[in-house]
Amino acid sequence: MAWNKMKQSLESFLCPALYGRVEYTATSYRYLSDKAGQCYIKVDKKKIFNMSDTSTLIRWYQTEQEIKNDSDIQIPINSEEIEMVRKGTNGAVPVDRLKVIARNRKISEYAKEMLSAQSALSKSNFNVVANRFLTMSIEESLESNDILLNILALVDRRVGKKRLLNMAEKMKLKHPIVQYFYELRLSTFDMGN
């Protein structure tokens, strides 16, 4: 699908309060075959999300520390995870310490998943993901692990206030840019839409 047609299709799905505020932009280098174009999303004329910006990659360790230090992020630990740690330590560690170790391991896994998602995103082709979005259900886009699919779905007019409010807990575990667009969309309801 040609860029202009795709852009029109994507913008036709924007919720009315975000029409004109959210823009999809693409640049390409016509005469330079080794230069890929850039795709980005603007909000209120500011580049918010650049799919080609390698500076947005967050190192795994830094991400892990941010998760550990953010008291709003709740990482639930179940008894099976604690039992796995107990077996790994041969039962020589107190129960309260087992919980800390299990939580730290889960945070580490979560940080690696976030970094993996960010890396995949910087390599992704906006057109491919946008075409997929236009052909799949809104539910699939919201449930997907693809950050761009989540963003496109969150600003979609087919997602109502009730559904957005029911997603509040899930959004705490999403990438910060997905959380940004979630908050942006929630703010449109304060304006009466």
pLDDT of residue 184: 93
pLDDT of residue 77: 83
- 17-74, pLDDT tens digit by residue? 999 999 988 776 555 444 455 777 889 988 887 765 444 444 555 666 776 777 777 7
- 142-191, pLDDT tens digit by residue? 999 888 899 999 999 999 999 999 999 988 888 888 889 999 999 988 75
- Residue pair 75/63 in contact (Cβ under 8 Å)? The answer is no
Q: In what order do the strands lie in the sheet with 46-50?
A: 22-27, 38-43, 46-50
- Residue pair 81/21 in contact (Cβ under 8 Å)? The answer is no
Tokens found for residue 129: 């993901």
Question: Is the pLDDT at 84 greater than 70, yes or no?
Answer: yes
Classify 50 as helix, strand or coil.
strand
pLDDT of residue 57: 43
Tokens found for residue 100: 């800390």
